Amino acid sequence: MPPANLSETEYLRHIELLARDVIHAANEEGWLTYDRDATPATALHRAVNELARQIHHYHFSGDGCLEDDLPPMQLAGIVLLHPKTIPPDMEGTYEEICTRLGIPPAADGWAVWNTWGDDRQPISVILADTDGTEGILTDWAHGIEVYPPAPLPAQVVLTRQGWLTPMTLSPLSTRKLGITRPPYWTPNASGGGTPAPG
């Protein structure tokens, strides 16, 4: 039973998240296929495979879909800096923020990925390509948990200790902070449930 008091839009997002969970589970079990010529074992397999083919995918440059051998980079959050748009509550002008970060005030702006170093300490990775980062944010806004592969050294302009904030939190961060819950979770469920896969 869907949660009470959902708007029509929220209900549709709830159903989309459930569908993504089904697709993820089928993939984890090893039988999901996008090949229309494959012969699934059961009617359920056929239905889930068709669901996977039909559900929206929001692809962007560097989303990792074509680089399956590269591990995804876990992000705590993202900050996009543009000359005309800086995050609310961030102090200073675009030029002042860039000066504090030690980067020039580029006309195309900067993408900042807040993540962790090998020692699990927070770091900010500054990239010149903002298009791929905007794609990540689009996916997150649609409830799709996606993380890009680690950037190549040539793509990294600067790496700094600590995180630049305020940031748009990743789905991973929102779960860790207890802000979101799996779409199939109910207050009466025992054991607290399992976080929804991306």
Indicate whether 4 and 51 sit together in one domain.
yes
Structural domain contains residue 193: no
Structural domain contains residue 2: yes
Structural domain contains residue 166: yes
Judged by phi (left if over 0) then psi (alpha if -120 to 50, else beta), residue 31 lies in: alpha
Indicate whether 47 and 83 sit together in one domain.
no
% of the chain beyond a pLDDT of 70: 80
Indicate whether 166 and 87 sit together in one domain.
yes
What residues does 112 pair with on adjacent strands? 79, 126
- What pLDDT, in 10s, does the model give residues 39-98? 767 888 888 888 887 776 666 565 555 555 567 889 999 999 999 988 988 999 999 999
- What pLDDT, in 10s, does the model give residues 82-93? 999 889 889 999
- The answer to pTM > 0.75 is no
Indicate whether 103 and 152 sit together in one domain.
yes
CB-CB contact of 33 with 25 (8 Å): no
Indicate whether 84 and 172 sit together in one domain.
yes
Indicate whether 93 and 130 sit together in one domain.
yes
CB-CB contact of 163 with 122 (8 Å): yes
Kind and range of the H or E run holding 188: none
Indicate whether 85 and 134 sit together in one domain.
yes
- For the record, the structure tokens of 136 come out as 């990540």
CB-CB contact of 63 with 135 (8 Å): yes
Structural domain contains residue 191: no
pLDDT band at 153, cuts 50/70/90? Answer: confident
Structural domain contains residue 192: no
Indicate whether 135 and 81 sit together in one domain.
yes
pLDDT band at 104, cuts 50/70/90? Answer: very high
Indicate whether 48 and 83 sit together in one domain.
no
Structural domain contains residue 187: no
For 52, residues 6+ apart whose C-beta sits below 8 A from its C-beta are 23, 26, 32, 34
Structural domain contains residue 115: yes
- What pLDDT, in 10s, does the model give residues 3-12? 667 777 777 7
Indicate whether 90 and 169 sit together in one domain.
yes
Q: Count Cβ atoms below 10 Å from residue 22 Cβ, excluding itself.
A: 16
- For the record, the structure tokens of 105 come out as 């005030």
Number of structural domains found in the chain: 2
Q: Give me the domain span that covers residue 139.
A: 77-176
Residue 106 confidence (pLDDT) above 90 = yes
Structural domain contains residue 72: no
Indicate whether 3 and 92 sit together in one domain.
no
